[in-house]
Amino acid sequence: MSHRTAVVNRIGLALVGLILLVAGAAALARGLGLASGLLGSRTSPVVSKAIAAYTARNSWFWPALAIVALLVTLLALRWLLHQARTGTIRYVNLEPDPGHGATHLSSRAAAAALEDDVADSVHQEGAARSERVHATLDGAPSAPHLALAVVLPDRADPTAARHGIQRAVDRLRRSLETDRLPATVQMHTTRTH
C-alpha cells in the first residue's frame, strides 16, 4: 500500500468535492433567488441568449471546451490507474556509494527468504506455526520499506509471535547490511478449530 496513493486520493477527492459544492451552492442560490443582485434573476433560462450568442459568435469556443474536457478525462484516467499501483520495487540497492558500482538484490528473493524466516522463528518462539506470511518491499531501491503481513492461528500467543517476527526482521536488516529498514507489520488471526 503506497502512501502516495492515499495523498493523491485525498487531494483529488477534496478538489472534486470543492468544485461540486461551490457550483451546486451557487446554482441553488440562484434558483431560490437568494442572491439575485449578485447572480441574476431566478426565472431566466440556464443557457441564456447571451451565452448562446457568445458560443455562436466565437468559433473557438467548442474546440476549446473539447480540449479542456479531454484533459479532465485524461487526468481522471491517470488518477484511476494510480489506484492499481502497489509501489513494490523489483530490486534493492545494496551499495550506498555509486562510486563503487552497483549491487542489486532481487527484492522478491529477499522477501521470500524473510517469509520463510518469519514462519520458522514464529514457530520456534513457541507460538503455533503461522498460517500465512507475505512480505513485500516498496519505497525506493536505495531506501526500501518492508511491508509484512502475518496470519496467525487465533490460539497462537501473539507476544511470542511478535518477538519471532522482530527477530526475523532484525536478521534481514543484518543480511542487507543496513540499519535503516522501516517496516510495517500487519497481523491477522484465523479460526483454526
Partner 1 sequence: MTSPELHPGPEPVPEPPQVDERAQRRAAARAFRPSRKVPATVTAVLLAAAGLATVIAAVAAATRGRAQQPPLTWLAPLGRARWDDPATLITAAVACLLGLLLLVLALTPGRPRLIALASEDPQTITGITRAGLRRHLATVAAGVDGVSRARVRLGRRRVEVKAATPLRDARELPGQVTQAVTTRLEELRPLRPMRVHVSVREREE
What part of residues 4-23 is at the interface with partner 1 (CB under 8 A)?
5-6, 8-14, 16-23
Which of 34, 35, 37, 44 contacts partner 1 by CB under 8 A? 44
Minimal distance, residue 135 CB to partner 1, in Å: 13
Q: How, if at all, do strands 183-190 and 104-106 pair?
A: unpaired
Question: How many whole angstroms separate alpha carbon 93 and alpha carbon 148?
Answer: 20
CB atoms within 10 A of CB 8: 16
Nearer to partner 1, 25 or 112 (CB): 25
Interacting residues with partner 1 between 164 and 183 (CB under 8 A): 166, 169-170, 180-183
Residue numbers 48-67 binding partner 1 by CB under 8 A: 52, 55, 62-63, 65-66
Name every residue whose Cβ is closer than 8 Å to that of residue 138 and which is 6 or more positions away in sequence: 2, 86, 87, 88, 89, 144, 145, 147
Among 73, 103, 106, 124, binds partner 1 (CB under 8 A): 73
Kindly identify the residues of this chain, within the stretch 127-156, that bind partner 1 according to CB under 8 A: 152, 154-155
Which one of 35, 76, 102, 112 is in contact with partner 1 (CB under 8 A)?
76
Place of cell 522482530: 166
CA pair distance 114, 133, nearest whole angstrom:
9
CB neighbour class for 136 (10 Å; exposed up to 12, middle 13-18, buried from 19): buried
35 binds partner 1 per the rule CB under 8 A: no
Complex with partner 1: residue 11 or 109, whichever CB lies closer: 11
